[in-house]
Amino acid sequence: MKIFKTSAILGLLLAGSLFADIIVTTLPGFDYDNSWDGNPPGNLIEIVDNLNVYLPDDADIYLDQVDTEIFTGKGAFSIVLGEFAGMAPNTTFGWYEQGSSDDLNQIFDGSDSFLDQKTIKFDEVKDFGFYIDPNGDKLYNGTDYTPHYTEAALNPTQVPQVAVFEVRGADDTYILGWEDLPITGNPEDSDADYQDMIVGVKIHSVPEPSTYSLIGIGLFCLSGFWFARKKKRS
């Protein structure tokens, strides 16, 4: 288990030289320091830490990497938190019912970008997962890449293609960091940086009002992260 504690200067958005901390706990077997994607603004942990600019200056937020593959609820709010990959203009993101990779339901397409947001709603409680498809509507450089799923058993090599982080103390609030190339065990096949597409999700255990989809990262952070902080203090 690794614990990363990093600081972000909030001067860009808040007055004064203020700092806030995001503390990230990771699982063994994940290495976030290797990337082929040009000059990304740091590794996955550092990119997530940069989201501090949207949080109260005195917030200490804890993200715990978990092995969650399936989510249960009546829908989800999703927001794009970053894309750092050559295939980003093609890559789509969506959901599927547990074990049913033949029926994919798109949420974001290749044109969606940072802070774009969508809400999905179900008529009943479902067990579901999320996926990315690096191809989107067309092949990237003529190569047919298969979709990747939160259920590792559905992936071509049956290994995790996504790093899942849960907001400690917040109900059903996660950050998903995806690798878009199949992880085969050969370092020449994939950089396994898990930052090619980063999505925040908030699972709905009950139907949410339609205005929920209009609020964006402030709601994602403050309804999830802030309540985590509130619970810690109470």
DSSP assignments along 73-122, one per residue: EEEEEEEEEEE-STTTTT-EEEEEETT-TTS-EEEE-TT--TT-EEEEEE
> What does the pLDDT read at residue 57?
59
- Average pLDDT estimate for 70-93: 91
pLDDT tens digit sequence for 7-17 = 332 222 233 33
In angstroms and rounded to an integer, the radius of gyration of the C-alpha atoms of the chain is 17
pLDDT class of 59 with cuts at 50, 70, 90 = low
Cα 211 off chain centre by? 22
pTM: 0.80
pLDDT tens digit sequence for 113-154 = 888 889 999 999 999 999 999 987 655 555 667 899 999 999
CA distance 79 to 108: 9
DSSP β-ladder status, 92-97 and 117-133: antiparallel
